[in-house]
A = this chain, B = another copy of it.
């Protein structure tokens, strides 16, 4: 029985959930996958990760074909096989059942597969192709190593929001002065910012001009030679959010966050931070992480409340303004990808927007 309502609250009866399969997602950091199998969830489906023969990461549906026990309760045995905890069936990285203990006479040969996903390990991350028993049609986003002179930090967090809401939040500028008041942009004097939105087949980029230099000593330390702030925000299909800042010649800061749709209302972000500045890394790092976590905690709180509200009302009722520079583009790209469509490849300056921040 549904709860009473004052009136049917006006919603679109729709939630911004796009389920893009046939794509690469990061499911864990490489260091998280050791000798024990690891259960993860991707697009609502439980998978078990383990290191198969030669240490190569493997991903199987986390359900034994025999009696449906989760394979993640088992252990990895000799030869990089995953052994089910219940009856000891053994599976290879590709999903083939190599042993049913107790069976007499060659019956191991029969077809008793566990469905498997393709995997890649690169840049300290483990990627899974979001489709069972399918050959990937491309390779994961090539991150590359941190450039010489840069420091790299890798962290992941889990957000209680849809992939769309979480990525929009990560790339949205106007909320920072309110949700992160005091931590990030201040609520002081406002400057007119000029934003240029560029969209191409698999991405959208916003370039900001007119942002003020950090004031006082911090600004001087980051860029003794002077110079202006340059800032780009990018969304790249299927789920990458990238924020890049330059301050003069000396300071450069890029966060590349790989979003993973765990389930409809849970999104993981695997963030790779590369930075270079005149302030030594050993001095930056002790500040960077606590501040980033404080910001993320505030984002988490609002994303959870947003999810709960959308669910309580049975759908969204969003009203955008021209300040919502990137969210609607992310949504359109996600829906096209979900439908298997692909926009044309030519880049076009979509528009220029001026606002105060």
Contacts and interface: CB of A to CB of B under 8 A. Distances in A.
Interface of A: 1-7, 9-10, 15, 17, 19, 21, 42-46, 61-63, 65-70, 73, 83-88, 100-104, 107, 112, 115, 117, 130-132, 165, 174-175, 177-179, 190, 192, 261, 263-264, 301-302, 305-306, 308-310, 312-313, 316-323, 354-357
A115 B313 CA distance: 14
Contact of A316 (B68, B115, B179, B261): B68
Nearest to A338: B4
A357 B100 CA distance: 12
B263 A3 contact: yes
Copies, count: 3
B15 A46 contact: no
Contacts of A313: 63, 68
Given A1-B17, A66-B319, A102-B355, 6 more contacts: A7-B21, A9-B61, A63-B309, A65-B317, A102-B356, A104-B356
29 contacts: A1-B264, A2-B44, A4-B17, A5-B45, A6-B131, A7-B21, A46-B312, A63-B309, A63-B313, A65-B318, A67-B318, A68-B306, A68-B318, A69-B302, A70-B308, A73-B302, A86-B175, A86-B302, A87-B175, A87-B179, A88-B174, A88-B175, A88-B178, A101-B177, A102-B190, A102-B323, A103-B323, A104-B356, A107-B322
Contact of A19 (B4, B101, B103): B4
B178 A86 contact: yes
Given A45-B6, A263-B4, A323-B100, A177 B67 contact: no
Contacts of A302: 69, 73, 85-86
A15 B2 CA distance: 12
* Max chain B C-beta neighbours (<10 A), residue from A42, A62, A63, A70: A63
A330 to B, nearest CB: 13
B67 A306 contact: yes
Nearest to A14: B1
Contact of A319 (B69, B86, B112): B112
